[in-house]
Amino acid sequence: MPPARRQARTNQPAHTQCTDPRCVSMRQSYGQMCAARGIAQRRVDRLEAELGLRNARVGTGTGAIPANLRRVQGTGDQNSISEDVFTMRERLRGIRALLRESKASTDAATTLIVEALEARFDTLSNQLATASDADFTAIWEAVQETKKLLETKKKETQPMTCGICMDELDEANFMCGKNCYHSFCMTCISTTGMNQLKPSHAVENNRYWEFTGTRVTDRLNLDGSNVVEPTFRLRPEFSDDGYTAKSFPANTWVPCPMCRDPHYADQAYFEVCKRAIDTLDANDEAANQQTPPTDVIQEMRDEEQLLLIQVPNDSTKVMFVEAKIPGVPADPRFPHGPMLGGHLRTAGFQWARDPEVTGGASAWWRNRRFDDVLESPNFRGGQLEKTVPRQKVIEEATGEVDEDGNQLFRRRKVSGGHGSWKFLYPRPAPVENEAGPSATDVVATGPGEE
C-alpha cells in the first residue's frame, strides 16, 4: 500500500470506511460479485431440490440432501433464519415445479409411452417362455430393464401426494424437510408434532391438549376387562376442529415419516417454510435478478426519490437525502432504510455518527467530487428538514428507598439522538372544478412532475 494512502487510512476513525476511489471501486465490485454468487446459489438450490425429490420419487435416491448441506443447528438464530428463507424459497420452487409437472403428466404423449412400455414388456414376457438357452439371458435382461423403466414412468406420471393424509399436495400448503426432500402438507406435519405431545394419561394442565373424558376400547386387560383410555382434543387456540393443528408446537422436533431423519422440522424451521411459501410468487422476479447498487441509486435519482445535496455550510461534502411528499407512502419499487443504506455504503458513502459532520443532523455523506451533479436545497419548491429524534426511556434514581431499603427509580423519556436530514416536496395543491373545490381533486407537484 502506498505511504500516502496508508497515512490517509491511519488518520480515519475506526468506524469509517476508506473513501479512496480504488477502495470504493473494490467494494462495489465485491458487492456485485456477492450478489451474483447469491443469485447463482439460489438457482442451484432450486435445481438441486427438484432433482433430489425426482430421484426419491422414482426410487433412484433416498431423498436426503447432500451431506454438506445438512442443517440441524442454529435454527434459533434470527439472522440465519432470515437468510434461510431465500434458500427455502428456492427449494420449494423446485419442488413446486415437480408438483406441477406431475399434475400435467397425464397427457397423450405420456400415456403412449406407458402403453408402449407395457406392450414391450408383454412381448418380451411371451418370448421368455419359448426362448432357447442361448437367448434366455438376453431376453431376461431386456424384461428386467423394461420392467424398471415402466415402474419409473408410472411413478413419474402419478400425482405427488402427502405421505400422511395421502391427498394430492397443495401448492399453497406443502413443505420439505430440513435435511431431506420428502414433502408433506404443512398441516399434517404440525398435527404430527402436536400428536407427539399428546398425553398418555388424564391431565388437566397440558399446554396443547384439553382432557375431554375417557372411552372404552376393544383391547383387554390381563383380568379380561376392557382397557379405558383418556380422550383429548386440541385447545381452540391451536386448532379449529380439535384435531387438525394450525400451528407448530414449541421445543419439538418432528422426524421424517418416510426416511425417519430425526430433524425433519421444528418450530423455527416450520416458520421459515411458512414465510417462504407465502412469498413464493411475490419474489420470483427479485430472486432471479438483482440490480447493482449503483444502478438502484441512479434510478432513484432519475425518479427524484433520492437527492444529492451539498452539506449545509460545508462546500467540501455532499450527502444523499431521501425525498418524498408529506403524507404519501414511500415508493415500494425502491429500497428504503437499512437496505438503501447498504447500497449507499457500497457506493462510497458513510453514515455521519456525529451530526456536526453533516450540518447538525445525520445523513449519508462523502467528500465532494468535481463531477458531482447536485440538486438545490430548494429543489422543486421543497425544503430540507430534520426528522424528530426518537425518544428513549431511561431510569434515574429518585434518592428514596422502599421498605426493604432498595433504591427507587423513575422512568423518564429523553431525546434519543439528533435526528436526520429529509427532503419534503410541497404538498399537493387542491383543484377547483365546476362543482367547486374538492378534497379529492389534487394536482401532484412532487417528484417527476414539472
Q: Ramachandran region of residue 448, left (φ > 0), alpha (ψ -120 to 50) or beta?
A: left
Cβ contact 175:189 at 8 Å:
yes
Cβ contact 389:417 at 8 Å:
yes
| Per-residue pLDDT, 310 | 92
Total Cβ atoms within 10 A of residue 359: 19
Sign of CA dihedral 13, 311, 447, 420: positive
Provide the pLDDT confidence category of residue 340 given band limits of 50, 70 and 90: confident
Asked whether residue 142 is assigned to any structural domain, the reply reads no
Asked whether residue 280 is assigned to any structural domain, the reply reads no
Nearest to 273 by CA among 399, 181, 353, 374: 181
C-alpha distances in Å from residue 215, one per residue of 211, 212, 219: 12, 10, 11
Asked whether residue 15 is assigned to any structural domain, the reply reads no
Nearest-angstrom CA–CA distance, 192 and 163: 12
Nearest to 207 by CA among 250, 271, 243: 250
Place of cell 428456492: 90
Nearest-angstrom CA–CA distance, 179 and 72: 8
Q: Residue 307 phi/psi, 5° resolution?
A: -120, 140
Cβ contact 282:288 at 8 Å:
no
Nearest to 363 by CA among 418, 405, 293: 418
Cβ contact 291:299 at 8 Å:
yes
Question: Under 8 Å CB-to-CB from 404, ≥6 apart: which residues?
Answer: none
| Per-residue pLDDT, 222 | 86
Residue 291 in this model has a pLDDT that exceeds 80: no
- Torsion, Cα 298 304 308 312, to 10 degrees, reads -170
Domain housing 422: 293-443
Nearest to 140 by CA among 131, 152, 149: 131
Provide the pLDDT confidence category of residue 111 given band limits of 50, 70 and 90: low
Nearest-angstrom CA–CA distance, 8 and 323: 33
Provide the pLDDT confidence category of residue 284 given band limits of 50, 70 and 90: very low
Question: C-alpha angle with apex 217: 214 to 219, nearest 5 degrees?
Answer: 135
Asked whether residue 311 is assigned to any structural domain, the reply reads yes
Nearest-angstrom CA–CA distance, 132 and 117: 24
User: How large is the average pLDDT for residues 15-32?
Assistant: 72
Q: Residue 87 phi/psi, 5° resolution?
A: -65, -45
User: How large is the average pLDDT for residues 126-130?
Assistant: 74
For residue 260, with 0-12 CB atoms within 10 Å meaning exposed, 13-18 middle and 19 or more buried, which class applies?
exposed
Place of cell 399453497: 172
Asked whether residue 348 is assigned to any structural domain, the reply reads yes
Sign of CA dihedral 292, 298, 304, 307: positive
Nearest-angstrom CA–CA distance, 50 and 69: 15
Nearest-angstrom CA–CA distance, 300 and 339: 13
**Number of domains the chain is built from:** 1
Residue 318 in this model has a pLDDT that exceeds 90: yes
User: How large is the average pLDDT for residues 41-55?
Assistant: 61
pTM of the model: 0.46
Asked whether residue 322 is assigned to any structural domain, the reply reads yes
Provide the pLDDT confidence category of residue 449 given band limits of 50, 70 and 90: very low
Asked whether residue 35 is assigned to any structural domain, the reply reads no
- Torsion, Cα 94 99 100 102, to 10 degrees, reads 130
- Chain-wide mean pLDDT for the chain? 75
| Per-residue pLDDT, 124 | 76
Half-sphere exposure of 142 (CA within 13 A, CB side): 17
Provide the pLDDT confidence category of residue 442 given band limits of 50, 70 and 90: very low
| Per-residue pLDDT, 74 | 43
Q: Which residue has the higher pLDDT, 68 or 133?
A: 133
Enumerate the H helices of 206-292 as residue ranges.
267-278, 284-288
Asked whether residue 372 is assigned to any structural domain, the reply reads yes
Length of the chain: 450
Are β-strands 226-234 and 209-220 bridged in parallel, bridged antiparallel, or unpaired?
antiparallel
Provide the pLDDT confidence category of residue 309 given band limits of 50, 70 and 90: very high
Residue 226 in this model has a pLDDT that exceeds 70: yes
Cβ contact 36:44 at 8 Å:
no
Question: C-alpha angle with apex 448: 445 to 450, nearest 5 degrees?
Answer: 55
Nearest-angstrom CA–CA distance, 330 and 336: 8
The CA radius of gyration of the chain, in Å to the nearest whole number, is 33
